[in-house]
């Protein structure tokens, strides 16, 4: 670079901004906007490293007089003389001060106002547990036909009648006829009456291979991409809900553990309410477990040993000790109804015992 040596030993060219130790940030520097020193240009053009194989565009016609890059000058502190340097004349202390204080405002964490409802619990109304929202748009609030009953009455229904597809499994889809649309409508509404095996059209004993095959077959028929070019949004919505149920069925049936549980669910008494796979969530399972522990030993680690020994005392009919332990336990956990009740019982027993022993003493 010829221009490079030109400047050697001279004070920095006027156009070059200086980086002073205080200004750690490039943006704060004065920028060269005019005075395009043509000799400097080569510095910014590609260093002689082999250009990547990508075709390089000819310079766009419109870049015009671009402001030249400022070749920064890095200035050491004023005491700078020669190689044996004082501390470390780096531009700024190596601490990277972010230009802006990142105003970190994590979203306000409001407590969730909702409490998830405990899931399975056989519903009192045997309405389909989950009605796809689309249905509500067109039906009366409660769909009159009340789909499930016939299926629900005979619990271990071996397999629902295989669905007949209103749509050809192969070939181009030009249009959907009114008849097909009505059939799709009916199928979409009837989904909640079908179990997953019926949705995929496989037997309860189907092998994983058969399930996959059935899913591929249904995908070829009902995949929404097949109908993407259609304009009728109602047909598309129906097809969408049908296909979503197909993927849901496949998701459950392809997993051995889930499939086993599902099969047990739909073979049981409340089949109608379990046609869609429900799974107690992690937190619900945990809450359940905690509840049982709470009821047995209290939910405070400090009170638990007292309650435990109190129970042992009650077993041994050692009422006085049981009372002490219960009282100690309740100081840590005043709200435990179960042990409060137990304390009353124990105190009653203790009174009785005292009365008995007192009377006995008197008699003697």
Query: Quick one: which of 128, 266, 238 has its CA closest to 181?
Result: 238
Q: Look up residue 276 and give its two tokens.
A: 């869609």
End-to-end CA distance of the chain: 122
Runs of H (alpha helix) within 139-207: 149-153, 178-190, 196-200
Output 253 or 310, the one with its CB closest to another protein.
253
Q: Which residues 113-132 are close enough to bind another protein by CB under 8 A?
A: 113-117, 119, 129-132
b vs e for 87-118, b when ≥16 Cβ sit within 10 Å of the residue's Cβ? eeeebeeeeeeeeeeeeeeeeeeeeeeeeeee
- Shortest distance, CB of residue 109 to another protein, whole angstroms? 6
Output 9 or 162, the one with its CB closest to another protein.
9
Output 75 or 347, the one with its CB closest to another protein.
75
Output 35 or 85, the one with its CB closest to another protein.
85
- Is 238 in contact with 134 (CB distance < 8 Å)? yes
- Shortest distance, CB of residue 224 to another protein, whole angstroms? 6
* 19: β partners: 74
- Is 226 in contact with 246 (CB distance < 8 Å)? no
- Among 14, 94, 158, 162, the residue binding another protein under the rule CB under 8 A is 94
- Among 14, 84, 98, 158, the residue binding another protein under the rule CB under 8 A is 98
Cα 301 to Cα 274, 293, 307: the distances in Å are: 38, 11, 10
- Shortest distance, CB of residue 41 to another protein, whole angstroms? 10
Query: Quick one: which of 66, 71, 61 has its CA closest to 3?
Result: 71
Binding characters for another protein, 251-280, by CB under 8 A (x = yes): x-----------------------------
Binding characters for another protein, 27-56, by CB under 8 A (x = yes): x--------------xxx--xxxxxxxxxx
The alpha carbon of 231 is separated from its chain's Cα centroid by a whole number of angstroms, namely 33
- Among 168, 177, 207, 281, the residue binding another protein under the rule CB under 8 A is 281
- Among 92, 157, 183, 263, the residue binding another protein under the rule CB under 8 A is 92
Output 38 or 111, the one with its CB closest to another protein.
111
Query: Quick one: which of 135, 120, 165 has its CA closest to 271?
Result: 120
Query: Quick one: which of 196, 323, 325, 199 has its CA closest to 267?
Result: 196
- Among 34, 38, 84, 100, the residue binding another protein under the rule CB under 8 A is 100
- Shortest distance, CB of residue 51 to another protein, whole angstroms? 7
- Is 23 in contact with 29 (CB distance < 8 Å)? yes
Please enumerate in sequence order all residues whose Cβ is within 8 A of that of 220, keeping only pairs 6 or more positions apart, or say none: 169, 170, 226
**Helix H or strand E segment including 282:** helix 282-297
Output 289 or 356, the one with its CB closest to another protein.
289
- Shortest distance, CB of residue 6 to another protein, whole angstroms? 9
- Shortest distance, CB of residue 148 to another protein, whole angstroms? 16
Output 245 or 271, the one with its CB closest to another protein.
245
Q: Is 9 in the site for another protein (CB under 8 A)?
A: yes
Q: Which residues 209-248 are close enough to bind another protein by CB under 8 A?
A: 212, 216, 219-220, 223-226, 228-229, 240, 243-244, 247-248
Q: Which residues 128-157 are close enough to bind another protein by CB under 8 A?
A: 129-133, 135-137, 139, 141-142
Q: How buried is 181 (Cβ within 10 angstroms: 0-12 exposed, 13-18 middle, 19+ buried)?
A: middle
- Is 151 in contact with 143 (CB distance < 8 Å)? no
- Among 14, 22, 109, 154, the residue binding another protein under the rule CB under 8 A is 109
User: How many chain residues interact with another protein (CB under 8 A)?
Assistant: 112
Q: What is the largest CA-CA distance in the chain?
A: 125
Q: Is 177 in the site for another protein (CB under 8 A)?
A: no
- Shortest distance, CB of residue 150 to another protein, whole angstroms? 22
């Amino acid at each position: 670079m010829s221009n490079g040596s030109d400047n050697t030993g001279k004070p920095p060219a006027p156009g070059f901004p200086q980086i002073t130790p205080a200004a750690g940030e490039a943006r704060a520097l004065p920028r060269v906007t005019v005075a395009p020193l043509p000799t400097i240009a080569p510095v910014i053009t590609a260093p002689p490293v082999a250009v990547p194989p990508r075709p390089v565009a000819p310079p766009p016609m419109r870049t015009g007089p671009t402001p030249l890059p400022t070749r920064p000058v890095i200035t050491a502190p004023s005491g700078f003389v020669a190689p044996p340097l004082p501390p470390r004349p780096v531009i700024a202390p190596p601490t990277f001060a972010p230009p802006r204080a990142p105003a970190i405002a994590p979203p306000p964490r409001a407590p969730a106002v909702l409490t998830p409802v405990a899931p399975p619990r056989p519903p009192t109304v045997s309405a389909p547990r989950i009605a796809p929202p689309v249905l509500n748009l067109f039906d009366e609030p409660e769909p009159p036909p009340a789909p499930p009953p016939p299926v629900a009455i005979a619990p271990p229904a071996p397999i629902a009648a295989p669905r007949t597809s209103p749509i050809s499994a192969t070939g181009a889809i030009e249009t959907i006829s009114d008849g097909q649309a009505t059939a799709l409508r009916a199928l979409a509404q009837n989904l909640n009456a079908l179990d997953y095996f019926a949705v995929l059209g496989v037997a309860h004993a189907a092998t994983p291979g058969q399930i996959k095959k059935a899913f591929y077959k249904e995908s070829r028929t009902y995949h929404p991409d097949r109908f993407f070019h259609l304009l009728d949004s109602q047909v598309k919505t129906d097809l969408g809900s049908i296909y979503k149920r197909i993927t849901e069925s496949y998701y459950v049936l392809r997993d051995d553990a889930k499939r086993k549980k599902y099969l047990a669910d739909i073979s049981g008494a409340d089949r109608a309410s379990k046609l869609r796979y429900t799974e107690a969530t992690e937190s619900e399972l945990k809450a359940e477990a905690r509840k049982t522990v709470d009821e047995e030993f209290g939910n405070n680690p400090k009170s638990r040993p007292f309650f435990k020994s109190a129970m042992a005392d009650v077993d041994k009919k050692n009422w006085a000790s049981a009372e002490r332990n219960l009282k100690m336990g309740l100081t840590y956990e005043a709200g435990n109804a179960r042990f409060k009740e137990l304390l009353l019982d124990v105190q009653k027993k203790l009174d009785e015992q005292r009365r008995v022993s007192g009377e006995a003493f008197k008699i003697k």
